[in-house]
Structure 1
Amino acid sequence: MVPLLLLCAAALPLVARGAIPAPEEAARMARFVLHNCDWGALATLSTQEGLRGRPFANIFSLSDGAPGPHGGSGVPYLYLTDLEISVQDLEVNSNASLTVSLAQTPYCKKHKYDPQNPLCAHIIFCGNIVKVNDSEAGLAKKALFSRHPEMESWPKDHNWFFAKFNITNIWVLDYFGGLKTVTPEEYYSVKP
């Protein structure tokens, strides 16, 4: 019990200084985590022989906007190709979940938080993947290429396209006491 109390006490000064959103600001935390992460684990239902219908997770680069404190839209954009096996799954069933975690940032290592420690916040989004329309493609391109400049030189014959994760459900694990549910409306109404 004492280590748990010490862990909680250690986190409070960080929140007070504004390093991360406070535990009672679950929607802001979700935006904060997504904006500070460059990749996530995307889970689909596999269509691959031998795995058909089973969960299948894969890592994808993503971005909700240019790095910095005010650049995020909250929309997870992805750069995809039909040659990728998870994208083939999405062509059959576009439903997916996306997990992003502060474990990929220096934050958790700095504070010696294991990735499973709730103080090393992670967010689980559920929804579906959709190709962006022409009017949104420029925004998606700017968001992704600002964080992942290598993408601009990826082989053109792979028929890359911009997509977004259309969020329908959000769960936040950022503190002790279990998951918090955030609606998409709450999520999009705050800034990270």
Structure 2
Amino acid sequence: MGGLLPLCAAALLLLLLAAGGAIPPPEEAARMARFVLHNCDWGALATLSAQEGLRGRPFANIFSLSDGPPGPFSGSGVPYLYLTDMEISVQDLEINSNASLTVSLAQTPYCKKHRYDPQNPLCAHIIFCGSIVKVNDSEAGLAKKALFSRHPEMESWPKDHNWFFAKFNITNIWVLDYFGGLKIVTPEEYYSVKP
């Protein structure tokens, strides 16, 4: 029964993305940003490396994320992550918590269905800038529900790795979902719309 829920959620996501009109129109950049984040299960997180030989250089890595359980209107807009200090990018973040996060509809069936290359602006992607912060105890339950509902294997990851819940604290948002260049969305606009 435990494996059935994630499969149902994935099927619902596929139906939403396949449905005509499910993608917000280009003139609604804040809604598009929320939509793309909510429909993505992972993103590329770029940090400034603290590693020997790479110090101060950009370093991008893939991380699983979630802003809430799958389904329409269940996203908070907050990108939650499940991290360990053993991970190389997390070691970078301990020195400098600033980062950027890119999520793209290329990871969903939408772009393939429409034959959009991941670099095509119509295959929408969002770039967030901000910082990674550990969530406090009052937010840990939300983060856990958001992440474990989409990434159930996380619950069985080795306990001795000292996993913790974190969130991407958004300060800047750029949306590329149409021709004509990036659109700037403020965090206030982003959090005030429904995905």
Instruction: Give your verdict on TM over 0.5.
Output: yes
| Cα pair distance change 1:134/1:4, threshold 3 Å | closer
Aligned-residue CA RMSD (Å): 8.6
Question: Per-residue displacement from partner, 1:25-70 (whole Å, max 9, x unpaired)?
Answer: 0000000000000000000000001100000000000000000011
| Cα pair distance change 1:146/1:28, threshold 3 Å | same
Question: Which structure 1 segments of 5+ residues have no match?
Answer: none
How many residues align? The count is 192
1:145 aligns with 148
Question: Per-residue displacement from partner, 1:67-87 (whole Å, max 9, x unpaired)?
Answer: 001110000000000000000
Does the 8 Å contact 2:48/2:57 carry over to 1?
A: yes
Does the 8 Å contact 1:35/1:74 carry over to 2?
A: yes
Greater Cα offset, 101-110 or 7-16: 7-16
1:162 Cα deviation after fit: 0.1
1:191 Cα deviation after fit: 1.0
The separation in 2 between residues aligned to 1:24 and 1:104, in whole angstroms, is 23
1:15 Cα deviation after fit: 12
- TM-score relative to the length of structure 2: 0.90
1:129 Cα deviation after fit: 0.1
Question: Per-residue displacement from partner, 1:124-175 (whole Å, max 9, x unpaired)?
Answer: 0000000000000000000000000000000000000000000000000000
Q: 1:180 aligns with which of 167, 179, 183?
A: 183
- TM-score relative to the length of structure 1: 0.92
Percent of paired sites with the same residue: 92
Question: Which structure 2 segments of 5+ residues have no match?
Answer: none
Does the 8 Å contact 2:125/2:175 carry over to 1?
A: yes
| Cα pair distance change 1:125/1:4, threshold 3 Å | farther
1:7 Cα deviation after fit: 32
Does the 8 Å contact 1:170/1:184 carry over to 2?
A: yes
Does the 8 Å contact 2:9/2:71 carry over to 1?
A: no
Larger radius of gyration: 1
The runs of 4+ residues in structure 1 deviating greater than 3 Å are: 1-17
1:18 Cα deviation after fit: 1.9
